[in-house]
Every structure is written in C-alpha cells, then in structure tokens.
C-alpha cells in the first residue's frame, strides 16, 4: 500500500496496527521520496495466512494416491 504523508497522519494508528497484523509493509511518499514502514518481526502466521485454497489440485479421491502401485515407475 502506498500513502501520502497526510494520509499516514490521518490514520497512523490504524495503519500501524494493520502493518503489525498483516506483516505487509506500507510505503509513504513525501517530496518525491519514499519511506517504508515494515515490522521488525513478521506477523504470527502471516505466511500461512497468505495461502490460498486450491480445490482442484487433486482431482478424485486422495486415498487413490496412497494405494497406487508405483513399482513400475521406481528405478533403483
């Protein structure tokens, strides 16, 4: 997210809380330059929160994968 210094001033506590909760940095533009607000420690579980479900990744019954015969594919 990119903000101006005025936008940061108006909502500073909400923005700081959001950075701490999500771990997503905020860029602040001032006089043609950029500042970045980044948490020192990543948010708890932040990486896992960014995972998206992929319901079509396994088509069929997952149990079929467990009981497949791979002996023809395996080469010692």
Structure tokens at 39: 């948490």
Q: What is the pLDDT of residue 65?
A: 80
Q: What is the pLDDT of residue 68?
A: 83
Rounded to 5 degrees, what angle do the CA atoms 31, 37, 41 make? Answer: 165
* CATH no. of 1-43: 3.40.1620.10
Quote the CA–CA distance of 4 and 27 in Å, as a whole number.
Answer: 8
When the pLDDT of each residue in the chain is averaged and rounded to a whole number, the result is 86
13-50: pLDDT as tens digits: 999 999 988 889 999 999 999 999 999 886 666 667 77
Q: What is the pLDDT of residue 56?
A: 78
Q: What is the pLDDT of residue 43?
A: 64
**14 or 73, which is more confident:** 14
């Amino acid at each position: 997210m990119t903000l101006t210094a005025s936008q940061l001033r108006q909502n500073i506590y909400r923005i700081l809380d959001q950075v701490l909760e999500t771990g997503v940095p905020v860029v602040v533009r001032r006089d043609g330059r950029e500042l970045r607000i980044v948490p020192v420690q990543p948010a708890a579980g932040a990486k896992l929160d960014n995972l998206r479900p992929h319901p079509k990744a396994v088509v069929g019954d997952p149990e079929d994968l467990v009981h497949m015969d791979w002996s023809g594919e395996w080469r010692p």
